[in-house]
Amino acid sequence: MDVQLKILRYNPEKDTEPYFQDFTVRGVSDDWRLLDVLQEIKWKMDGTLTYRFSCAHGICGSDGMKINGRNRLACSLLLKDLNTNKPITVEPLPSLPIIKDLVVDMSSFYDKYEVVKPYLINNTPPPPNGERLQSNEDAEKLFESAKCILCACCTTSCPSTWTNENYLGPAAMLKAYRFIYDTRDEAGNERMDILDTPDGIWRCHTIFNCIEACPKEINITWHLSQLKKKISSREI
Amino acid sequence: MIKTFDVVIVGAGGAGLRAAVEIPKEYSCAVISKVYPPRSHTGTAQGGVCAALGNMEDDSWENHAFDTVKGSDYLGDQDSIEVMCRDAIRAIIELEHMGMPFSRNEKGQIAQRKFGGHTKPADPNDPYSNRLPVMRSCYSADRTGHVMLHTLFENSIKNQVTFFSEYFATDLLIENGVCKGVVAMDIATSELTVFQAKSVLFATGGNGRIFRITSNAHVGTGDGMALVYRAGLPLEDMEFYQFHPTGLWKLGILVSEAARGEGGILKNSSGERFMERYAPTVKDLAPRDMVSRAIITEIREGRGIRGSDGTDYVYLDVSHLGKELIDEKLPEITGFARTYLGVEPTKEPIPIQPTAHYAMGGIPTNADCEVLMNEMGETVKGLYAAGECACVSVHGANRLGTNSLLDLVVFGRRGGKAIAEFLKHADFQPVDESAADNSRRIIDAVMNSTGGEKIAALRTELQNSMMELCGVFRNEEGLKKMIEILGGLRERSRSVSIQDKGKVFNTELLGALELQNMLDNAEATVFGAYARNESRGAHTREDHPKRDDVNWMKHTFAFRKNSSYPELKYKPVVVTRYQPMERKY
Ligand SMILES: Cc1cc2nc3c(=O)[nH]c(=O)nc-3n(C[C@H](O)[C@H](O)[C@H](O)COP(=O)(O)OP(=O)(O)OC[C@H]3O[C@@H](n4cnc5c(N)ncnc54)[C@H](O)[C@@H]3O)c2cc1C
Ligand code: SF4
Ligand code: SF4
Ligand code: FES
């Protein structure tokens, strides 16, 4: 079968503005990933088409992009799950500066990630010859948030991010959850102070866009609401 | 532009980041990576990382070492294997202390499960008694590599490492046996930077992309190995390339051995559990080389299933394990089967075929990660390597599952420590802007070429022919043919031209540079395989089906020559306590 795509193109060396370019790719089948279609274009039709990719199976977080209006990973989306009767629209993740075509500048995303102190803080020396104990139940409480692949699909789909570029965003706060709820971590309060600010957790209005965008099916809003409860209940 | 650091680490996977965490804060440390660190390939590792913690049942590092030696088909250097297995326990506990989220047992300790090739003797006092599978693999559901990579990334941030993400290393600077730094291109601008450094550690990962069906990410093009090879240094044991038995049919996406560790079984077209015939004791949990050969043999003898793409597969069945266990312990990999093949693993078997997975060979190092400049064991001052791109050799002719993630943290740390020691007395070597000339020449040649050869065409031909002629089974005739094909590809690669003439994020240019690297990797692999007239571990020569301990207890060292034939030299295997014996499971 054939598919048609409308891809947002932008080359800062040539273009003043991004524009849509149409492509028709022939001889595809419905079990192709959208990434496969992009590869077909890049390596057989137009070598200048630019996007990120690596693992090709939804685990490295490289190829987040806006596909038919929704943030997804191009490698985790098969043609059979898209309406191929009309052109598929492919755009870069919204709200981050475009470097070229579908490649956006991730630096602000990573900066926000670093703000929440994304590492275990525990100043009590661990047992000399063994692990810190943790029940499997407690461990599993972290697994969903630890699944995050930092693809930025959530943060860039969030209306609060669009209106306030300083908003920490769901991915960074999910990371904060991952440590605040880790029984081995001692810096929960410090992290909650970081979230308990105007650009932090209270800017989340539970709009659920982020959940819909998350390719790892993380219930982000649930995690953020747990944080909200925890933060408001710690106040005297 | 010249940038100066005490240490430059090329590669931000598990090995590179573990090394970075070890560098004392008083030294400046840069980590260069062609992708953002958490996108490195380590994140795809599923099954686990092993250490004889004994959390579930009695175990010992000696058991682990025995398994690793045997698994390596006696090509692993036993002194290094002992170093790794002894240190494994500390290394895993340390990861836990760093914050890695593990699955836990009832006591709250790190949980462990079975994995292929990991055993212990039925009689604890006799290592040569019948061996049974043992729970040695520590895991975090089936996302072990992902959480390990993130934990190490987090700790590198804590350690204030300077990252150069989306920088592509193009050259290694060595003069008179001393390393001076590396050259790398900022992908966003195509600008070349000379990184002057007292010490450089390569942790650039594997090269699975030289084969058509592979579990490796697209970044797995063997860049580090190629840079070292082109700098006149040898590559070791490149002919030993592991095919993992269970890749998703057509796609090569890995279905971890954890699926069999949890009780999944392999079946042929008539539903027979065929591994019972090949490895009566451990069955489906036999080491990877054996299982991959068994699958191809089943297929060749007509007991495979023909897929719509014309290739054959067999089945991996986990449906009898029940939905609950599958959802808890194997969520990610069963999700892949669902998403990409439309197969529901809780109800039906998963079509699988062997997939190119892991390079046992690589940049030769000693147990302190110092890179060897020859088969005599002399080292290059200031140059280190760790992880999949390196060959210590702890994996010999066949790596056991879960031993790679272990290798990353054990040797990543050892490399970091060795560098910290070295830096106490090391000086910078003089470099200037001209150090980037060689890279610039290569890049300009690609940018200005009007030759008309297409990257994709050459790459596909390389991958197809490597899969067919240098895959699970090999023979003299096929390898000869592969040598010819390689020569042709090399010639044509000089006339590769690209459409993208821009400087901003030119991924087509990267594709061209990676293609050169892949050809170098393939060269060392094919020539090593052609010369080695025996079958050992993952290297199976149909025309020489037996292991030959008299002539081949030695490591291949391939040196690039300007002619199209590398020069091969050999270094004897280090044997300490385990004498080679027949490998039966
Ligand atoms: C699907 C899969 C599952 C696996 N599961 C397991 C498992 O369960 N247990 C186990 O022990 N092992 C497993 N392995 C093997 C193991 O994951 C890898 O061997 C290991 O992660 C390699 O780590 P590394 O640090 O050496 O390299 P990688 O993680 O591959 O990192 C390489 C780094 O080098 C950088 N790089 C490469 N080239 C350049 C360049 N030219 N310039 C700049 N940077 C560069 C990359 O950006 C990247 O940061 C698995 C492998 C695969 C493919
Ligand atoms: S739920 Fe919160 S974080 Fe998620 S999209 Fe809505 S506002 Fe943003
Ligand atoms: S939470 Fe989900 S969408 Fe957001 S960065 Fe992580 S994986 Fe991506
Ligand atoms: S390419 Fe890795 S997530 Fe899509």
Identify the segments of chain B with pLDDT beneath 50: none
Last residue of a domain, one of A66, A85, A104: A104
Identify the domain boundary among A43, A75, A104: A104
Sign of CA dihedral B161, B162, B163, B168: negative
- Nearest protein CA to atom 3 of ligand 3, as residue: A214
Asked if the B434-548 domain carries CATH number 3.40.50.300, the reply is no
pLDDT tens for residues B224-272?
A: 999 999 999 999 999 999 999 999 999 999 998 889 988 999 999 999 9
Which residue from B18, B114, B404 has its CB within 8 A of the most atoms of ligand 1, so it is best to mutate?
B404
User: End of a domain among A104, A123, A139?
Assistant: A104
Residue-wise pLDDT tens digits, B259-272: 998 899 999 999 99
Pocket lining: A153 vs ligand 4, CB cutoff 6 Å: no
CATH number of B244-354: 3.90.700.10
Q: What is the pLDDT of residue A36?
A: 97
ipTM of the complex: 0.97
Give pLDDT, residue A127: 94
d(CA B66, CA B71): 8
Q: Give residue A235's pLDDT.
A: 64
Nearest to B72 by CA among B415, B538, B452, B484: B538
- Using left for φ > 0, alpha for ψ between -120 and 50, and beta otherwise, residue B260 falls in alpha
Q: How confident is the model at residue A108 (pLDDT cuts 50, 70, 90)?
A: very high
CATH of the domain at A89: 3.10.20.30
Distance from CA of B281 to the nearest CA of A (A): 32
Whether residues A80 and A113 share a domain: the answer is: no
Q: Residue A45's CB: how many other CB atoms inside 10 A?
A: 13
Within 10 A of A208 (CB to CB), how many other CB atoms are there? 13
d(CA B434, CA B413): 33
Q: By residue range, what is the domain housing residue A80?
A: 3-104
Contact of A65 with A145, CB cutoff 8 Å: no
Same-domain status, A98 and A130: no
- Taking residues A205-221, what's their average pLDDT? 91
Q: Which helix (H) or strand (E) holds B515?
A: helix B507-531
Looking at residue B257, its pLDDT comes to 85
What's the rounded Cα separation, in Å, for the pair B142 and B207? 23
Tell me the two tokens of residue B304: 């495979």
Give the domain CATH number at A131. 1.10.1060.10
What's the token pair of residue A151?
Answer: 């693809």
| Mean pLDDT across A123-127 | 94
Instruction: Indicate which residue's Cα is closest to atom 1 of ligand 2.
Output: A206
Chain B interface mutation, best of A11, A50, A57, highest count of B Cβ atoms under 10 Å: A57
pLDDT of A123 above 60: yes
Instruction: Evaluate if residue A236 carries a pLDDT over 70.
Output: no
Residues A196 and A224 in one domain: yes
* A111 in the same domain as A93: no
User: Mean pLDDT of all residues in chain B?
Assistant: 95
Q: Is A204's C-beta closer than 6 angstroms to any atom of ligand 2?
A: yes
Place of tokens 């592979």: B214
- Max Cα distance, chain A (Å): 65
CB atoms within 10 A of CB B542: 12
